[in-house]
Amino acid sequence: MILDPLRVQDITQNKAKLITALAQLFLSELPDMIGAIEHAFKQGDKKALSDNVHRLKSALGNFANSSYYQEVGALERNALEHDAAQWQQDWLTVKEKLNTLIIELKQMAGL
């Protein structure tokens, strides 16, 4: 499980409408966040790449378990330091887990 349901419940005081609203906001902004990350990668702009991963990481702070959050944090740091091929492989792993988070979040929010 990538989602941290206890964190979501704590942040929202377990209010179903607030959980749904937060989930909808995150899900509506997610395509733009992913697109910005992938665009920066294709452009070879390491600073923009790091900044855009940071934006995603910040949004995930409301939903993700600690392990996944740290994994995205490492991806943010590595955007400035590692070679493109390794970073891209790590991104694909993070993105696959992000798909799991989406499913879990939709289930929790009743979407």
pLDDT tens per residue, the chain (111 residues)?
A: 999 999 999 999 999 999 999 999 999 999 999 999 999 999 999 999 999 999 999 999 999 999 999 999 999 999 998 788 999 999 999 999 999 999 999 999 999
The pTM assigned to this predicted structure is 0.92
DSSP string, the chain: --B-HHHHHHHHTT-HHHHHHHHHHHHHHHHHHHHHHHHHHHHT-HHHHHHHHHHHHHHHTTTB-HHHHHHHHHHHHHHHHS-HHHHHHHHHHHHHHHHHHHHHHHHHHT-
Contact yes or no for 2/104 (Cβ under 8 A): yes
Q: What integer pLDDT is reported at residue 82 of this predicted model? A: 77
